Structures are given as C-alpha cells and as structure tokens.
Structure 1
Amino acid sequence: MDLLSLDTWLLPPHNRLSLHQVHRLVPVATIARGNRAARALTPADSSHEAELSSVALAPGREATLLEFLEMTNTDAFIVLRGDQVLYERYFGDYTRESRHIVMSVSKSLCGMLAGILVEDGLLDLDARTSMYVPELENGSYGGSTVGQLLDMTAVPDFDMTYTNPLAEVQAGDRSAGWRPRRDDDADGTRAFLERLQGSGGHGSAFQYCSATTDVLAWVLERAAHMPYARLLETKLWQNLGAEDDAVITVDNHGTPYACAGISMRLRDLARFGRLILDGGRIDGRQIIPREWISTTAGGGDFDTSDDTDPTPGTYRNQWWVPGGSHGSFYAAGIFGQYLWLDPSTGITIAKFSSEGDPLSHGSEHRNALQSIASNSAGWSGTGDRSEGKDK
C-alpha cells in the first residue's frame, strides 16, 4: 500500500513520512515569506549540545533529553535562547529544509493573528460571531462571541475523539480533504461549520474544539476583507524573519484548514516563538501587540484538565497556559508538535514528531519541555554553565 494515501497518512508508521509530505496528498496555499532577510540564528558551542543530550530531564528521572526525543518519535527539535541555537537535532530523513505539518499549533498562529486585527481596530472581541459570518446565525456558533472563539468557550456539539470515525473531528477532516469523503459529508469546511449544532451555552465552560478555530479564521477573513492565507502572510509570516514559505492545506473550495493545516520549517516555528518572547517586536517594528501577548500568557478563566489529562492549566487566545513560576505557555498539536515559550528564562523550544498515537505523552512533553528550558537557561553558549546569566 502506498505510504502516501489519504487512507493511511494519519496512521503510524505512515505518518513518519507523510507529516512532511502533506502537499503531495492535499492541495495547499502558500504563505510567502516575502523579501525580508531571514532572522539570523547563531550556533552555540557544539559541546553544549553533547552535554545537554545527557542531562536528566527532572530530578529523580533517568531519561535524558536524547532518550526522550527518541522515545517520543521526534523528527526535529531545537532550543533557542535569544537568537542562539543551544540545541538542534534532526532524525531520519528530516533536514533543516524539511517542512513539517504543525497540526494544532496552527491554532496558536490564528490566535496571534487575531490580536493583530484587534490592535488594527478591525476585530471586536465582544461582537457576536454571526455579525461577521451571517451564514452561522442558525448554527451552534451563531450566538457565540469572538472572544469565546479565542478562548475555546464556545460549546458546539462536537466529539474530538481523533480515532473515532463517527466523531465530528473526523467529519471535519473529511470535509477539509484530509480523509476520503463519504456521500453524506459536507461539501467543504465552511459547509461543515454551518451544519454544526449545540446547546448554545457559550461562555459557560472550556471545550477544546478544532472547528472553533476554523470559525475564528472565517471571522478574521471577514473582518479584514482578506483571504486567511494572505492575512497570515502579510500580518505575520513576512514580518518574523522566516527563511522559507509556509503552506496551509485547503479544501476543494480553497478554504484553509486553519485549525491544523500549516506546514513550515522547524527554525521558522522557533522564529515565530522568538518573536512572541520578544514582546512581538523585531527590528524596531511592533508586529504582535505586547499587551495581547501578556494577556495570552496570563491564561483563561476555566481549568482545562479532564479525565484523560488531569494536569491543571487554562487556555487563552488559542494557547495553552499551564501556570507555574516560569510563566510558560505553549502551542501543541497531535502526534507531538510543540512550541514551548518560557519567558522567565528566554528559552524557545520547537519540536516536530510523528508519535504513534495522536495524544501520546502529553504530560511527559510538558514536564520535559519545562525541564529542558530550565536546564538550558544557565548555559553561556560556550559549553559552560553560567547560572543566572541572560535570564
């Protein structure tokens, strides 16, 4: 059987190949990098990478960083402090030039884009979703607000069980062209969104739902009068110093799959994270509003823990906020995609993976990434510890 097929690309072991070959399976739109020079990243001393590979990730644990990366089917991994690459590793046939789909990390780009439109006076967080998208008036999302979309407190009837063929999340995938279509599937992502129903108790609880991000992207398009891929391109991608174009999958109508469909290089994901840790500013230009970043890192109103993942935390503006003294917040996608930001140490970590299960090692990733940030913070970049420096 062809490893690159819609029937199998989201299943192990096929996903090890397919997650960086999505453009061969699903149509994509380009998010062009533009003409600005790429943000330069400088290497640390090579001895640091070797020593960090052997560091235990947490007190009392024997697993080292390298063992953790291998255990979690890592495809590519990078640690930055400022513009300095403290650690970078590629596995299998992945290289610095490989693009990898980031899955639901895509949601977090949408969240930062929303903040830019708010600052531009184009988006009202208190406005009803249907004010921007009248097509949703009679569905579940019609009575929600833009702010509720951002914080995942809109509550449609939606099953997010990735492995259940009867779940709405798989129906959404099929409508987006990610899986073979069935006769009764909606004709494209937005027809699928219009079909969704629900209780309408928006704002009363946290409900993580991929469709909510696709609704948010539709709202952003209407607010800015610009296609979503073009919005990402002009407001974010062309301004952060990316070294390559990104791409986003589109359905048969050209509608982007904003909740999960972006592919990019590892270093460009790290550059996006670096822009955020720099308060949204690069080369003297304010790209993302600083206040929006602070609000995001401050977390949301509802605990996101549940029976499958009891770890406490909140969600704000399409980002996960675990709490704790480091003030970390992060973006995450199925099969082990992560962008971890630690404001207290100035550490950015980006990780591409092809895990065997969509939700494998969630708590282990959080613990390990925080530990890696803590272990990396004191390095001088010459292979020596320098406690407290550059924090």
Structure 2
Amino acid sequence: MKFPHFIYLLTLIPMLYSCSKESTQETEKTIDTPVVTDSLPAAAYFPPISRTNEWETVSFNALGWNENKVPSLLQFLEENNTDAFIILKNGRIVLEEYFGDFKMDDNHAWNSAGKNLTAMLTGIAQQEGFLKITDTTSTYLGDGWSSLTMEQEQKISIKNQLTMTTGLDYTVENNFCTDPECLQYLNEPNSKWYYHNAPYTLLDDVIANAVNSDFNTYFSEKIKEPIGMQGTFIKIGYNNVYFSTARSMSRFGILNLQEGVWDGEVILNDAVYFNDMINSSQELNQAYGYLYWLNGKDSFRLPNTEAEYTGSLIPNAPDDLYAALGKNDQKLYMVPSMDLVIVRMGGASDEELLGPSSFDNEIWGLLNEIIIQPTP
C-alpha cells in the first residue's frame, strides 16, 4: 500500500534541509573540540547547550575498541545512502561521519523516530498535571474526532495512542489520514496491535489542547531548549515531522540514557512513566513500549503486517537496546548497559520500511566487530 503524503514528504526533504536551517538560524559555530585520549572518564558527559560545536570526544584507543574495523563500517554506511552517523560513549563522541554533500549543521527528517519525542513530551505533560494517559482521547479532542459512536470513542485512551492499540481501522486507504472519515472502528481497544500512524499523530493535538499551548512551543520549552537541541516539527500533509541535525538527535539519546535528567536538570521526573515507556507496554507486541522499539524480547511485530515473529527484534544488538526508528532508516539506538548512543540519518538502505528493517541487524553485525566490551 502506498501513502501519498509520505511520498510527498520524501520529495520535500532536500528542500527542507536548507529551508529549516535558514528559518531557525540555529546552526552551530565551528570551534576546536577537545579530545580525551588516555582514558574514559566515568562521569557522563553533557555537551554545552550553547550553539557551538563544543563536544568532548574519546579515542578508540582509550576505549580499547577495534579501530581497524571502522573502514568496513564506513563503506557499508556510504553504500547504503547514509547522510550522518554518530557513536557516543558516556555522551562523548567516538565516531562522527557525514557523507556526500550532507554537513554537520544540515537538518534531516526524523520521520517516525520523532515518535519518541512525543512519547517523552506526553510523560512531561502528565507529570505537570495537564493530562493522565488513562484519560480518554475525547477528553482533549472533543466528541466526534472519529467516525466511531460516542460510546466507542470513549473507550480509546491516550495510552492506546501511545501503544498502537486503539482498535481503529488500519486497513483504510490512507492510515496516515487523521480526518474523522478515515478513523473508523475495526476492533475493541487493547485487542489488536497495529502500527497505525493516524492515532499517534493525533497525540500532538491531545498534548496541545491539554497544555493550552502550541505543540512546537511546548516541546521547545520542555525538551528542546533545556538540552540544547535545535530543529522543529514541520506539518507535511497529515504528518508532523521533526527535522534537526544528527547532533540534536544525539542529545535526545543522552537524555534517554540519563533517564530524563540533563546535567542535573530534571526534564522528566516520573520514573514510573519512563520505565513503562522503554519496556513492553502491552502483551500484543512485546517489542513496543510507549512509541519506543525494544530489543531482546521473545517476539515482535512490525509495521504494515499483522504477523508475529519469534525472537529478538535485532538479534545482533544488545538485549537492553531501545530505539527510535523511522522510515528510510532513521535510527537512534540507546544501550544503557554500554552507555551507548548511536545515530544514523539518511535515505533508505534498501527497504523503504516505516521503522525496523534488515539494516538494523546488518549494522549491528559491523558494530560488534568494533565495540569491544571490557572483561568483567
């Protein structure tokens, strides 16, 4: 099935690189970056929130990693339409590469990897008392936001939107469409898991109405500015897509590894919500939290199919990995046990899938040849 609005998005991406940079004026200055060469400090590192390029790095030698295998990784990335790639250890840059004409201060679409931003923002809105994820969606969108009866609408909660379990019909011609006529009844909430974009997109309106503020403004105030990100959500068709630099995506990865705290400043202090967000949120798809993809589970489901698959989502990756995964292989991997954040932005490696793809397992096969774990 083809989705014309996302195809439209893909045709606009090159234009939005320059457009976003000029409109936000949030590109970073070029200054020398210090390098940690002898050892890796135990404390987590947080890059300054000022608009500079200052960011500590750490050498492969200091980590005891196999730098000889890096060329094979870079060749693989280049051959698979990669624009930007970053590896962080304890917040410090180990590897940062840009390909073709793409530069450090260029903005790229996160696509569905941006769902993680919305998930964390939902938790912040809940901790501030603006909503509860157990509330009905109708509480914030009003009656008649769908084609369901009022009784059917009242059964759908914010948590259903976060977990892809609304029961809305995902077989409609365009399941990105958020118009009421596209939102039809198929199943009872919590009875089926399906990667349905429209209910997720409506979370933006739920949050905006709950906090009585523009969605971009609230996101900027609560997440973007406190951790020094740049970029913005841009409405394209039915989709609200985040554009930023690869380094800004890396900052969000650090925030996740630090469980919602940025250099002593608490961004998300609801530990229960954070834990639920990065763990199995329901039994229908063990590999899905609150809009987060989870590795190391016994089974998983994928977008665009009702099938269930046995085994781990990314067999080559650490079991505790959780991720933001977007169309055309936008990747934000976070591995708490290894203090790793890994970012990949670019075009589709091979398959134009909405989230997980074979690219995940291939890249982790190469990463495993580089990243050497210390002996306990």
| TM-score in same-fold range (> 0.5) | yes
Deviation of the 1:124 alpha carbon = 1.1
Preserved CA contact (<8 Å) 1:330 1:341: yes
Measured against aligned partners, the alpha-carbon deviations of 1:246-297 in whole angstroms (never above 9, x if no partner) come to: 1222269xxx833xx1100000101101111011111211102343322222
| Structure 2, gaps ≥5 residues long | 28-47, 298-317
- What does residue 274 of structure 2 align with? 293
- 2:50 counterpart of 1:37: yes
What fraction of aligned residue pairs are identical, expressed as a percent?
22
2: distance between equivalents of 1:46 and 1:288?
A: 32
Q: Residue type of the partner of 1:322? A: N
List aligned pairs for 1:257-296, cutoff 5 A: 257-258=239-240, 261-289=241-269, 290-296=271-277
- Superposed displacement of residue 72, structure 1: 2.4
1:89 and 2:97 aligned: yes
Contact 1:335 1:358 in 2 (8 A): yes
Q: Whole-Å Cα distance in 2 between the matches of residues 241 and 124 of structure 1? A: 28
Quote the Cα distance in structure 2 between the aligned partners of 1:74 and 1:299: 30
Q: Please, what TM-score do these two structures have when normalized by structure 2?
A: 0.74
**Mapping of 1:166-245 within 5 angstroms?**
166-169=173-176, 172=177, 192-193=179-180, 195-242=182-229, 245=230
User: Counterparts of 1:193 and 1:240 in 2: how far apart (Å)?
Assistant: 36
The answer as to whether partners of 1:76 and 1:266 remain within 8 angstroms in 2 is: yes
Q: What SS does the aligned partner of 2:278 have?
A: helix
Q: 1: CA distance between counterparts of 2:321 and 2:76?
A: 20
Q: Deviation at 1:19?
A: 2.8
The separation in 2 between residues aligned to 1:317 and 1:205, in whole angstroms, is 15
1:155 maps to 167
Alignment partners' CA distance in 2, 1:197 and 1:102: 28
Shift in alpha-carbon separation, 1:10–1:223, aligned structure 2, 3 A: closer
| CA distance, structure 2, for counterparts of residue 349 and residue 127 of structure 1 | 34
Counterpart secondary structure, 1:93: coil
Match of 2:15 among 14, 18, 21: 21
Q: Does 1:326 align with 2:299?
A: no
1:249 to 215, 222, 234: 234
Kept in 1, the 8 Å contact 2:130–2:210? The answer is yes
Aligned counterpart, 1:359:
353
- Cα drift, residue 114 of structure 1: 0.5
Aligned match of 1:317? 290
Residue of 337, 341, 349 corresponding to 2:342: 349
Do the aligned partners of residues 346 and 301 (structure 1) sit closer, same or farther apart at CA in structure 2, a change above 3 Å counting?
same
Deviation at 1:365, TM superposition (A): 2.8
CA distance in 2, matches of 1:294, 1:199: 30
The verdict on how the C-alpha distance between 1:284 and 1:48 changes in structure 2, with shifts beyond 3 A counting, is closer
SS of alignment partner, residue 350 of structure 1: strand
Pick aligned residue for 1:77 from 79, 85, 103:
85
Q: CA RMSD in A?
A: 3.5
- Does structure 1 residue 338 correspond to structure 2 residue 353? no
Shift of 1:327: 1.2
Does the 8 Å contact 1:126/1:147 carry over to 2? yes
For 2:263 and 2:232, locate their aligned partners in 1 and report how far apart those are by CA, in whole Å: 25
TM-score by length of 1: 0.72
Q: Taking structure 1 as reference, are residues 343 and 46 closer, same or farther at Cα in structure 2, changes over 3 Å only? A: closer
Equivalence for 2:157? 145
Q: Tell me, what secondary structure is at the counterpart of 2:111?
A: coil
Q: Secondary structure at the match of 1:331?
A: strand
Partner of 2:313: none
Call closer, same or farther: CA 1:84–1:36 in 2, change over 3 Å.
Answer: closer
Alignment CA distance shift 1:136-1:302 (3 Å) = farther
Give the aligned length: 323
CA contact (8 A) 1:105 1:338 kept: yes
Cα pair distance change 1:9/1:201, threshold 3 Å: closer
Displacement of 1:375: 5.4
Using the TM superposition, give the Cα deviation of residue 107 of structure 1 relative to its aligned residue in structure 2, in angstroms.
1.0
| Structure 1 residues 211 and 230: alpha-carbon distance in aligned structure 2, compared to 1, 3 A threshold | same
